Amino acid sequence: MVSDVLHIMSDLRGGGVSQVLRERGKSTWLAAVSHPMVRQIGDGTLPHPTFRRYFEQNVPYLMDYARAIGLIIGKAPDMVAIGVLTRFLGQIVGTEIPANLAFLQRLGGTAEADGDPAPMLPTTYAYTRHLLCVAAQGSCADGLAAVLPCQWSYGEFAGPLMASLPSDPVYADWISMFGADGYGSLVGETTGLLDRLACAADDAALNRLTSIFDISTGYESQFWDMVYGTPPRGDR
């Protein structure tokens, strides 16, 4: 127990509260960033129908993810925080949702920007309800702890994959969206904002943030499981 506390305090000095949350849920985090589906995307062997199913669920997920960030912006304490969160929201609405629709179309799915997204499967629904609930009822720091695992984990696994992109252009283009320097810089801004807003000395607050962060990280793995383990709708 003492060694755990010393380890956490060392992380606080080196990287802030965000690193503490990641370290406390290390096993859950590693399960998300090293999921078999992620590995198959990295080597270009994932079947296209499985990746299409991912986008069918990720489009409605990202729509609610954007709504959650919007709720968090409303609780931002100052202009610096508003700026960081607005750039975060712009990445989702201006880049990722259009890109997801384009990928879906490339993979043979229906991708109408003004149309209804595919119905959410239970994991997608549960994950988005978690995000929206925390963003609506919690503090700005609480909301950040909920939405960060998605943004942060994608940057973490995509960065190393940039060194050897798969030959399949669909997978190479998708990895490049998250492995680019600009994406990593935005992750640095959002994690830095959480570090500034969260009080490391408040044990109750830190425990609450840990729980929120872990739930979201767990849903990241469950999202991969949902897509990877179930046949796409059109192939049933």
Whether residue 38 is predicted with pLDDT greater than 70 in this model: the reply is: yes
In a domain, 17, yes or no: no
Residue ranges making up the domain that contains 198: 47-235
What pLDDT, on a 0 to 100 scale, did the predictor assign at position 11? 38
User: For 109-119, what is each residue's pLDDT tens digit?
Assistant: 876 655 567 89
Lowest mean pLDDT of 147-151, 201-205, 227-231, name the range.
227-231
Residue 46, classified by CB atoms within 10 Å of its CB into exposed (0-12), middle (13-18) or buried (19+), is buried
Interatomic CA distance for residues 235 and 11, integer angstroms: 46
Q: Considering the chain, what is the average pLDDT of its residues?
A: 90
In a domain, 176, yes or no: yes
Tokens of 218: 């767990």
In a domain, 94, yes or no: yes
In a domain, 162, yes or no: yes
Residues 94-115: what's their mean pLDDT? 86
At residue 229 the predicted structure's pLDDT band, cuts being 50, 70 and 90, is: confident
What pLDDT, on a 0 to 100 scale, did the predictor assign at position 235? 40
CATH of the domain at 57: 1.20.910.10
In a domain, 159, yes or no: yes
In a domain, 121, yes or no: yes
- Which residue type, as a one-letter code, is found at position 177? M
Whether residue 167 is predicted with pLDDT greater than 70 in this model: the reply is: yes
Interatomic CA distance for residues 99 and 101, integer angstroms: 5
Whether residue 2 is predicted with pLDDT greater than 90 in this model: the reply is: no
Residues 12-41: what's their mean pLDDT? 89
**The Cα angle at residue 188 between residues 184 and 194, in degrees rounded to 5:** 145
pTM above 0.95, yes or no: no
What pLDDT, on a 0 to 100 scale, did the predictor assign at position 112? 61
Residue with tokens 């990202």: 62
In a domain, 3, yes or no: no
What pLDDT, on a 0 to 100 scale, did the predictor assign at position 147? 98
Lowest mean pLDDT of 70-84, 131-145, 220-234, name the range.
220-234
Whether residue 69 is predicted with pLDDT greater than 50 in this model: the reply is: yes
Interatomic CA distance for residues 86 and 6, integer angstroms: 35
Q: Which residues are catalytic?
A: 150, 220
Residues 123-130: what's their mean pLDDT? 98
What pLDDT, on a 0 to 100 scale, did the predictor assign at position 199? 82
In a domain, 142, yes or no: yes
Whether residue 73 is predicted with pLDDT greater than 50 in this model: the reply is: yes
Residues 66-88: what's their mean pLDDT? 98
Domain count across the chain:
1
Whether residue 201 is predicted with pLDDT greater than 80 in this model: the reply is: no
Lowest mean pLDDT of 174-178, 197-201, 230-234, name the range.
230-234
Whether residue 230 is predicted with pLDDT greater than 80 in this model: the reply is: no
Tokens of 110: 């229906």
